[in-house]
Chain A
Amino acid sequence: MRNVYLIFRRDYLGYVRAWGFWLSLAAVPLFMLIGGTFAVFAAKSSPVRYYAVVDPAGIYAAAIEAEFARDDEAAGQQARDLAATMDLPPEHQAALESGNAAPQRKFILVPAPAASIDALRPYLMGERLVSGPLGDKSLFAVFIPSTDGSSLEYWSDDVNVVALRAVAANAMRRLARQDALSEAGLGADFLAEVDAGALQVPAYRIRTVVEQATTGSEVTMADRAPVYVAGGLAYFLWLMIFSIIQYLLMGTIEERSNKIFDTLLTSVRLPELLAGKLLAVFAVTSTMMLSWGLFAFGASLFATSQIPGGASLLSPFLAAFANPAIIIPGLISFLLGYVMYGMIFMALGSLCDTIQEAQTLLSPMMILLMLPMFAIFIAFQDPGSPIVDIASWIPVFTPFLLILRMPHNPPMWEVIAQMGIMALTALAILWFATKIYRAGAVHGAGIGDLAGVFKRMLGRKG
């Protein structure tokens, strides 16, 4: 164990002392911070624009404004629905219910300064300004009915901003429906009343009678959190394996090109050497991912602390993490998956002399790694799919899919059998990869000489 520790220590310190490690460590939080800040800034700094409708009767302008009001109301309702799932203090709940949670309007209707597009041109091109609630500004867009009355033309100097036009299109559709209903002798709210009268389809989670008596049957975040946690864990494993490729390949190539194996192998056994190296890379990626995870957790805590009752959003996820039925098989799958993939990459790295040689291996490895990613995606969408069921028995997929299946309570015998197969496969890969590693690192077999690799692997001795 001492030798494993010494190899681990050297490799780990070697990796974490490199500036690239710290760059990677800082990159994700920085990216999150910059991305978040940028999104908030973009939302807040988005300008409020004036628009006008050439419409003496005011019908179109009223329809568009009504559409905006409906959108605002829908956004407010969404916020209230979310708030209802949170443990909000009564005063905040009341404020939400009475207030409008919709964001600030970005388009404000102003009277049209002219009635023709030629006369409106200077206003639209910023040469002249119109007055409005926020002072004098250029006109961002104007709606003018076409001469034949078949369309409501949208004119603007910036046609890439499509939100206003989309709202207007919805408003015109709604107006047309209202006209049709009116002609049919039906009220304007006829369709809304019909919709309101439709049967609701609420979701309930079937539970035992005892559970139902204590927790009720409504579907809550606590029902969904285990799936999200398992999905996160599976994706985390995939990301980790994806990240270790370069560490294991490059680290082994460096040692092979440094001709250091003979010296090492007169001090440590080959399994100790491999274990130390594998642990070091595991620790490096864990350090990185735990740091990112802690940052994300801290950011989530901060964000939820800013929302009254927000802590209740996190608690189902924390409970899922603490659930041994998910986390124990999850961790076992995680470790065995890491050993399986890690040993494959390390063995392949031992056959390469140069980074160029390693790069030729990277593409097939990426393809190999995309397969579990597809499997994760399918399993996340439909964990009961027969494809997922079958794929979970294939050892290269098992680590990911078993984690994802755990929230759905698969039969215990399947869990044990799949973990057993995974363990046996990991041992077989360990044995096989050690042979390849010895052939490559000790006997100098190369990736360009596969026949030589097998000859050295299958050689009677040494």
Chain B
Amino acid sequence: MSMPPLVISHATKRFGAFTAVSDLSLTVPEGAIIGFLGPNGAGKSTSLRMALGVMQPDSGSVSLFGKPPEISTLKRVGFLPEERGLYKKMTTRATIEHFARLKGLTARDARARAIELLDMSGLGEFKSTRISKLSKGMAQKVQILSTLAHRPEFLILDEPFSGLDPVNQQVLEDLIRTEHDRGATILFSTHVMEHAERLCDRIVMMARGRKVFDGTLDDAFASLGRGARIAVAEGFDLAAALAPAGFEAHRAPENGPGDAWRISLPRGTGAQDALRAAIDAGAPIVGFAPEEARLRDVFVSLVGEADAAALRESAAGEAA
């Protein structure tokens, strides 16, 4: 039986008094595509750097394909760091070739692979162009191609969508799916929940250096109670009005007409039942929306509004 590509066991990493990662345990089974979610500063990059052996945990252990991270096992891994960097004076082809050779490809194979990847990704005409002459997005594409050049069995991508425009984000999503279809195991970090929703069959959520969730998307949504949103005229106490009908209502921080309330739906009831109860209670309704569960809501329910706000800031910063 083959060893899982990555097993992190009770790993903790401190920088002085600051604990960047606390008691993290994580197993990435072969063939999985896992999203590693959390706001900036949650400990995602430190965890990935520990996974690769770039940093050693202060306590706990890491194994890659059943061994401690070392260069021989890292040849089976493709890593895209969060802080992108390439040699600016090298051409795109030479860059991919260089990193492929460092991962063990022969000069001839590395060159052929570089040309193949550049042609495949629409950068064929930039083979002899220096990195410094490329746009930021194109340079990032080259770095991603460099990560894939040696056909790694395990891809670790740290914020791969960061800095890409929507079109290229879609291209990258397709590329990740292609690599997954090829058989690669993929672990990628992001603070943009939508990417994880579309791509992952399992997610790991981090907040303040701790793992707060590890499971499938279905598990994540199941952990979140279903609900509905009702907006009423300002000053009306919907919580008191719905309580007799068995619905629990909380004020929701949404901007819009009237006061927004989130209604938790008890098992066996639906959003329409909550709406009917509100009408029966004489609530001056100005808006209604059955709630569609999103990963962000799962995150909020797991870590609270403060960390969720941090996540929103990360995503907003990214969009800017």
Contact = CB atoms under 8 A, between A and B. Distances in A.
B103 A267 contact: yes
A278 B272 CA distance: 72
A115 B86 CA distance: 83
B206 to A, nearest CB: 19
B81 A263 contact: yes
B79 A262 contact: yes
A408 interface: no
B99 A262 contact: no
Contacts of B83: 259, 262
B74 A455 contact: no
A443 B99 CA distance: 22
Q: Pick from B71, B84, B85 the residue with the most CB of A within 10 Å.
A: B85
Given A10-B98, A268-B71, A455-B16, A260 B87 contact: yes
Contact of B58 (A255, A261, A461): A461
Given A10-B98, A263-B99, A461-B57, A258 B86 contact: yes
Main secondary structure, interface of B, reads: loop
A269 B75 CA distance: 12
Contacts, number: 72
Contacts of A263: 79, 81, 85, 99, 143, 146
Given A6-B98, A263-B79, A442 B85 contact: no
B136 to A, nearest CB: 13
Interface string A245-270: 00000000011001111111111110
Interface residues of A, number: 26
Contacts of A47: none
A18 B89 contact: yes
A17 B89 contact: yes
B222 interface: no
A360 interface: no
A10 B87 contact: yes
Given A14-B89, A263-B79, A268 B58 contact: no
Interface in A1-47: 3, 6, 10, 14, 17-18
Contacts of A260: 85-87
Contacts of B102: 3, 6, 264, 267-268
B101 interface: yes
A6 B101 contact: yes
A17 B55 CA distance: 34
Nearest to B131: A258
A462 B98 CA distance: 26
B18 to A, nearest CB: 12
A10 B98 CA distance: 8
Interface in A411-462: 442-443, 455, 460-462
Interface in B123-168: 143, 146
A266 B52 contact: yes
Contacts of B71: 3, 267-269
Contact of B77 (A258, A266, A455, A461): A266
* Central interface residue in A17, A261, A263, A442, by most chain B CB within 10 Å: A263
B49 interface: yes
Interface in A81-107: none
Contacts of B52: 262, 265-266
A260 B81 CA distance: 9
A206 B16 CA distance: 68
A145 B152 CA distance: 97
B288 to A, nearest CB: 49
A460 B58 contact: yes
B56 interface: yes
Contacts of A258: 85-88
A18 B130 CA distance: 13
A259 B89 contact: no
Nearest to A258: B85
Nearest to B101: A6
**Residue of B54, B55, B58, B87 ringed by the most chain A CB atoms within 10 A:** B54
B98 A266 contact: no
Interface in B82-110: 83-90, 98-99, 101-103
Nearest to A14: B89
A162 to B, nearest CB: 53
Contacts of B146: 263
Contacts of A462: 13, 50, 54-57
A266 B74 contact: yes
Contacts of A6: 98, 101-102
A262 B87 contact: no
A258 B86 CA distance: 6
A18 B143 CA distance: 23
Interface of A: 3, 6, 10, 14, 17-18, 254-255, 258-269, 442-443, 455, 460-462
Interface of B: 13, 16, 49-50, 52-58, 71, 74-75, 77, 79, 81, 83-90, 98-99, 101-103, 143, 146
22 contacts: A3-B71, A10-B90, A18-B89, A258-B87, A259-B81, A261-B85, A262-B79, A263-B81, A263-B99, A265-B54, A266-B77, A267-B71, A267-B74, A267-B75, A267-B99, A267-B103, A268-B71, A460-B58, A461-B56, A461-B58, A462-B50, A462-B54
Given A260-B86, A263-B85, A265-B52, 5 more contacts: A10-B87, A267-B71, A269-B71, A462-B55, A462-B57
Q: When A and B form their complex, which 10 residue pairs have the shortest distance between CB atoms, in order from nearest? A: A462-B56, A259-B85, A259-B83, A461-B56, A260-B85, A267-B102, A258-B85, A262-B81, A462-B55, A266-B79
